[in-house]
């Protein structure tokens, strides 16, 4: 077998977070106050208040302990989260590029995954020469907003917090002393923290009627194949963020994990399904060519009858009506509480999240969308492929690409790295992970060195095998 091709059978190195649970309880030691001096305000009302004895506002500065030294000695598991704020140019659909702002040269920023009760030690560094300062507001923390103040180029800052609540939480740049926050976030400075429940996830129950029409309940183990989907918009004029378009809610693109239509077919799918790399098998395939490298579109592969868990965040400025065409969302969880079961669509406002658990019963292609037509047409659509809907197993086996039939195409092509979160308490490992995402070339080549599959190198090998005369 071709050497490069054997890479397909290596399970990608996905970092496994230690599941060390905490042993001690935290103490609330940092309640202090801030007084507001109103004596200098020259207003009649202020005079009256002063004559009454004055007015003092007391604002708690912190809900919980935030001192990294104290938390490091607390006996809890400490997870480091290192971010670098950097402005880079990244591609958009149509061969153009835009002036992006990123955490670590990628959009979205890296996904943090911890267990409820862990201590997060966040360090934000801004390189010398970066055009602007940046901050980081982590919604998983419950600390004073003062901690999120911006960091100047050439400097770094650190804060620590206990991830007390389970769920999905946005993090985002807080601008320069809060100014320009919209520009920084909507240019790419966002990501998520997944906080797994201390006792893990629960089983999934799916109600079905059996062949006789009787109601029965199918239970799936808590372990699931997991994906992250982050929705956002771009508001661009000549490749730059345009605040006036944001104020008018006139976005120029809808993105999922940073890209428009990033999870649509590429030329390998055209070849496998249509027998021809140039014959598209889906309506939109804007990133299908090998020259797109890490930006080449990739599909999301799942098995049938497999528990799938989606971590979804609305990072943007418009509502997300999350829907999967041809599927029902078997369970919707927010903040570790079940919100709905067997629902068709679930609404996420800005900066809101959910966990969707579901099972794809039948082989097929299923479109995930923001069920707002403007969002769909501007890029808010991707495809799940469940099982072997194109009956490719016989061909793949016959050509020697796989030794035996597989339950999903992930065993052959892998799943896109930007949709695969780090492993958590109840994660099923993806069979393979390929390099896909709004990454700089530096990030992509670092991933390649770490064993992720460069699909743009593998596809020609697959194509050669498939098209060779037998």
**Residues forming the site for Cu ion (CB under 5 A):** 134, 173, 184, 189
Q: Smallest Cα–Cα separation from 379: which of 231, 186, 170, 183? A: 231
Query: Using an 8 Å Cβ cutoff, are 216 and 466 in contact?
Result: no
Quick check: helix, strand or coil at residue 325?
Answer: coil
User: What burial class does residue 364 get, using C-beta atoms within 10 Å of its C-beta: 0-12 exposed, 13-18 middle, 19+ buried?
Assistant: middle
Q: Which of 189, 256 has the CB closer to Cu ion? A: 189
Q: Which of 189, 453 has the CB closer to Cu ion? A: 189
Residue 173 Cβ, how far from Cu ion at the closest point, in Å?
3
The answer for residues whose C-beta is within 8 angstroms of residue 248's C-beta and 6 or more apart is none
- How many residues are present in the chain? 470
**Residue whose token pair is 């804007």:** 286
Residue 193 Cβ, how far from Cu ion at the closest point, in Å?
17
Intra-chain end-to-end CA distance of the chain, in Å:
15
Q: What whole-number distance in Å separates Cα of residue 379 and Cα of residue 375? A: 6
Q: Which of 148, 220 has the CB closer to Cu ion? A: 148
Residue 160 Cβ, how far from Cu ion at the closest point, in Å?
21
**Residue whose token pair is 């239509």:** 261
Q: Which of 185, 412 has the CB closer to Cu ion? A: 185
Q: Which residues pair with 190 in a beta bridge?
A: 172
- Verify cis geometry, omega within 30 degrees of 0, for the bond prior to 464: no
Q: Which of 234, 300 has the CB closer to Cu ion? A: 234
Residue 397 Cβ, how far from Cu ion at the closest point, in Å?
50
Q: What whole-number distance in Å separates Cα of residue 320 and Cα of residue 299? A: 21
Residue 134 Cβ, how far from Cu ion at the closest point, in Å?
3
Q: Which of 236, 432 has the CB closer to Cu ion? A: 236
Residue 177 Cβ, how far from Cu ion at the closest point, in Å?
11
Residue 157 Cβ, how far from Cu ion at the closest point, in Å?
13
Q: Which of 173, 435 has the CB closer to Cu ion? A: 173
Phi, psi of 102 (to 5 degrees): -135, 160
């Amino acid at each position: 077998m071709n050497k490069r091709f054997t890479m397909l059978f290596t399970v990608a190195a996905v970092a496994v977070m230690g599941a060390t649970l905490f042993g001690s309880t935290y103490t609330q030691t940092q309640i202090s106050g801030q007084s507001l001096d109103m004596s200098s305000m020259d207003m009649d009302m202020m005079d009256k208040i002063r004559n009454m004895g004055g007015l003092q506002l007391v604002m708690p500065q912190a809900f919980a302990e935030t001192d990294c030294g104290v938390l490091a000695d607390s006996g809890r598991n400490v997870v480091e989260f290192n971010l670098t704020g950097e402005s880079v140019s990244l591609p958009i659909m149509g061969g153009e590029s835009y002036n992006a702002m990123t955490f670590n040269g990628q959009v979205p920023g890296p996904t943090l995954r911890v267990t409820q009760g862990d201590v997060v030690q966040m360090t934000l560094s801004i390189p010398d020469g970066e055009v602007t300062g940046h901050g980081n507001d982590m919604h998983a923390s419950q600390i004073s907003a003062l901690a999120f103040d911006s960091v100047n180029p050439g400097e770094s800052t650190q804060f620590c917090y206990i991830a007390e609540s389970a769920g999905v939480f946005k993090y985002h740049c807080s601008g320069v002393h809060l100014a320009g926050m919209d520009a920084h976030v909507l240019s790419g400075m966002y990501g998520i923290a997944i906080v797994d429940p201390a006792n893990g996830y629960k089983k999934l129950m799916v109600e079905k009627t059996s062949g006789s029409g009787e109601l029965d309940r199918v239970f799936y183990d808590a372990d699931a194949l997991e994906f992250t989907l982050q929705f956002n918009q771009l508001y661009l004029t000549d490749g730059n963020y345009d605040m006036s378009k944001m104020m008018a809610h006139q976005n120029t693109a809808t993105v999922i994990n940073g890209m428009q239509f990033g999870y649509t077919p590429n030329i390998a799918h055209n070849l496998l399904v249509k027998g021809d790399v140039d014959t598209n098998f889906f309506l939109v395939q804007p990133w299908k060519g090998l020259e797109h490298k890490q930006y080449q579109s990739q599909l999301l592969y799942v098995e049938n009858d497999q528990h799938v868990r989606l971590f979804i965040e609305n990072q943007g400025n418009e509502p997300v009506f999350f829907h999967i065409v041809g599927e029902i969302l078997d369970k919707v969880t927010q903040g570790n509480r079940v919100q709905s079961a067997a629902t068709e669509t679930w609404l996420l406002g800005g900066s809101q999240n959910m966990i969707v658990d579901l099972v794809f019963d039948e082989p097929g292609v299923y479109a995930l969308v923001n069920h707002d037509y403007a969002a769909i047409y501007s890029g808010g659509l991707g495809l799940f492929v469940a099982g072997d809907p194109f009956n490719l197993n016989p061909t793949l086996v016959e050509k020697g690409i796989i030794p035996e039939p597989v339950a999903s195409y992930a065993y052959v092509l892998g799943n896109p790295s930007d949709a695969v979160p780090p492993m958590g308490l109840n994660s099923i490992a993806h069979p393979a992970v390929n390099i896909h995402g709004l990454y700089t070339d530096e990030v992509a080549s670092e991933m390649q060195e770490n064993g992720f599959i460069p699909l743009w190198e593998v596809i020609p090998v697959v194509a050669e095998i498939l098209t060779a005369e037998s």
